[in-house]
Each structure stands twice: as C-alpha cells, then as structure tokens.
Amino acid sequence: MIKKAVIPAAGFGTRFLPATKAQPKEMLPIIDTPTIQYVVQEAVDSGIEDILIISGKGKRAIEDHFDRNWELEALLDEKEDNKFYNEIRHIGDMANIHYIRQKEMNGLGDAIRYARCHVGNEPFAVLLGDSIIDSVIPVTQQLIDIYEQYKQSVVAVQEVPREKVSLYGIIGGQKISDKLWQIDELVEKPDIRKAPSNLAFAARYILTPGIFDALDATTPGKNNEIQLTDAMSLLLQRESIYANVTQGTRYDIGNKMDYLKTIVHFGLKRKEFSGEFKKFLKDLVKGF
Ligand code: UTP
C-alpha cells in the first residue's frame, strides 16, 4: 500500500513573477483555496496518510496554512461561524504533514532527493505542488491502482500538441492498452524532431525507492538542474516504468495562462457563482 507522498514546492516560480517575488506560487489561490491545498486534498483522497512537503526560502506561508490558527479558530467559534470554523479546522487536520527545506533550488530531481530519509525503502507518490488535475478519480489514485498491479514506478502522462513537446518531459514506449504504456525512453524537453511521442509528464508519479540511487548518480542536465526525467532514465536501466494516460484536466499554476483558465474553470464549477459568472463571461466576451 502506498501511504506516503512527497510534494515538491520549493521552486522559484520565475514564470509567475512578480507575484512570486515574496509569496510561494503554490499558495496562489484558486478563488479562495490555495493551489497546494487542492494537491494535498488529492493525496488524501487517494489514501495517502503521510505527506512530506519540500519547502525552501520564502515558503513559510505554506507551513502556516496547514498549521492550526488558534486565534482565528477562537474568533470564529465566538462568532458561532460554524462554516468557516469547520473549514479552518479541517485544513489543519487534513493529513500528517512534514516539511524539509531544499537548500538550493537545483531542480525537481534535487528536491526529491531530500525525501530519502523520510520515505525509506517504500514506494511513494510525488505530486507537484503547483499543478492541479481536475478528475473524477484522483490521478494519484489512478496511479496507485496501476502500481498495485505491476509493483513498478508509474507516471501520469497526457497528450500535448506536437509543437509543444519541447516544453515537457516526454516518454516513448510500447502501448499495452488504451491508457497504459511501458516506457522505454524518457527525454526532458526534447527537440520537436527528436521527441519519441507527444505524451508528456503530467505532474504525478509513483516512484520506487530505487529512484534515490538513480538521483544520486544523476548529473545536472537541462538548465543545469538535476532533472527527475534523467534520474528516471537511469532507473529504467534497472526497473520497468509504466505510464498512465491520465483522465482529467491538468492546470500548471506556475504558467500564467493556465492560472487564468483554472480560475475560470473552478469559478464555473462552483454552484454559488456559476449562473452570474457564466453570464458575466458571455457578456464580457461579446465586448472583445
Ligand atoms: P517548475 O518546473 O515549475 O519549476 O517546478 P519552478 O522553478 O518552480 O518554476 P519556474 O520554472 O521558475 O517558473 C515544478 C514543481 O517542483 C518544485 C516547484 O516548487 C513546483 O511545485 N521545485 C522545482 C522544487 O521543489 N525545487 C526545485 O528546485 C524546482
């Protein structure tokens, strides 16, 4: 059973400057809920009980968010505001959350190395702290189900337009079924002419503990960072890795266009806003 998850959340978020100059991009709110709370909720909904957040410089707001806020709780209790009181209490009790700080932002692979002691010799889930995937079955749950069958690492992938493959980690391999591939190649941000497919990593992984030795053996790659994709290529020499073509809409909040789309999507999904908000959008679009 997979009970532990790692959420890397230490990155600089340069694509979202200046908003991320003094606040973590993982705390950017989707209406009233910070992005990373959706990510933690997905982990919890997938049966994860223990979460390690990879934190770093300027990320204190994440720890404060998942901590209890006694003064606020007392105030809401006094006002008999049960709705907000319960909501605030729930955030502090969502899961057993631990933190470790990445000392230098040397890339996603480097961030995951910090989880070695915490995770030990167990397979674990990785959920990128800046990506929300809206799906009926939580994506991490989809991956855990495949892990239970094959007992090997599994990554979520999604099709991306061919002209955008150079923005993502891309897999190549053998198709086992509609939704499942056995990977034989992984490339980080490939040149469009060399991409083995248009199936891109989609921010969720189940990794076996073998990834830690692979990460230790990985030298800096693209952008002079330790790339998780490169470490997974080394892991592939020793273990099989599967890819699940994931159902669900993925939003990378670190990307401004995706952030805009997420707010609109979730605004339309929320019953209390949907009628007025839909009308507002329709009227607004007419004027452009
Ligand atoms: P990104 O690939 O979006 O990198 O990280 P970034 O540095 O945060 O953002 P940009 O490219 O400068 O805009 C994906 C996830 O991995 C974490 C990020 O916090 C994000 O949740 N990450 C990235 C780390 O924890 N450490 C790193 O060194 C890099």
Specify the pLDDT at position 274. Answer: 78
How many domains, in total, are found in the chain? 1
User: Is residue 211, in this structure, part of any structural domain at all?
Assistant: yes
Within 6 A (CB) of ligand 1 lie 8-15, 26, 54, 102, 105-108, 110-111, 128-130, 254
Residue 281 host element (H or E): helix 271-286
Q: Nearest-CA neighbor of 207 among 246, 243, 180? A: 243
What stretches of 200-270 show up as alpha helix (H) in DSSP?
Answer: 210-216, 228-236, 256-269
Specify the pLDDT at position 83. Answer: 85
Q: Tell which one of 130, 188, 215, 228 to mutate to probe ligand 1, the residue whose CB is within 8 A of the most ligand atoms.
A: 130
168: domain range?
A: 4-254
Query: What is the Cα gyration radius of the chain?
Result: 20
User: Is residue 250, in this structure, part of any structural domain at all?
Assistant: yes
Distance of alpha carbon 3 from alpha carbon 49, whole angstroms: 5
Asked if residue 107 lies in contact with residue 10, where contact means CB atoms within 8 angstroms, the answer is no
User: Is residue 260, in this structure, part of any structural domain at all?
Assistant: no
Q: Count of residues for the chain?
A: 288
**Exposure on the CB side of residue 276, measured as CA atoms within 13 A:** 4
* Cis before 220 (ω within 30): no
Q: What is the pLDDT along the chain (288 residues), one digit of tens a residue?
A: 899 999 999 999 999 999 999 999 999 999 999 999 999 999 999 999 999 999 999 999 999 999 988 889 889 888 888 888 888 888 988 889 999 999 999 999 999 999 999 999 999 999 999 999 999 999 999 999 999 999 999 999 999 999 999 999 999 999 999 999 999 999 989 999 999 999 999 999 999 999 999 999 999 998 899 999 999 999 999 999 999 999 899 999 999 999 999 999 999 999 998 789 999 999 999 988
User: Is residue 156, in this structure, part of any structural domain at all?
Assistant: yes
Distance of alpha carbon 89 from alpha carbon 55, whole angstroms: 22
Q: What is the pTM of this model?
A: 0.95
User: Is residue 136, in this structure, part of any structural domain at all?
Assistant: yes
Specify the pLDDT at position 1. Answer: 87
Specify the ligand 1 atom closest to the Cα of 56: 25
User: Is residue 285, in this structure, part of any structural domain at all?
Assistant: no
Specify the pLDDT at position 287. Answer: 82
**CATH number reported for the structural domain that contains residue 196 in this entry:** 3.90.550.10
Specify the ligand 1 atom closest to the Cα of 225: 28
Distances (CA, A) of 36 to 9, 31, 49, 77: 8, 13, 16, 26
Q: Nearest-CA neighbor of 205 among 151, 149, 138, 127? A: 127
Q: Tell which one of 52, 108, 225 to mutate to probe ligand 1, the residue whose CB is within 8 A of the most ligand atoms.
A: 108
Cα end-to-end distance, the chain, whole Å = 52
User: Is residue 184, in this structure, part of any structural domain at all?
Assistant: yes
User: Is residue 271, in this structure, part of any structural domain at all?
Assistant: no
Specify the pLDDT at position 94. Answer: 87
Buried b (16+ CB within 10 A) or exposed e, 20-52: beebbbbbbebeeebbbbbbbbbbbebebebbb
Residue 27 is classified by DSSP as G
Asked if residue 186 lies in contact with residue 169, where contact means CB atoms within 8 angstroms, the answer is yes
**Exposure on the CB side of residue 51, measured as CA atoms within 13 A:** 28
Specify the pLDDT at position 80. Answer: 85
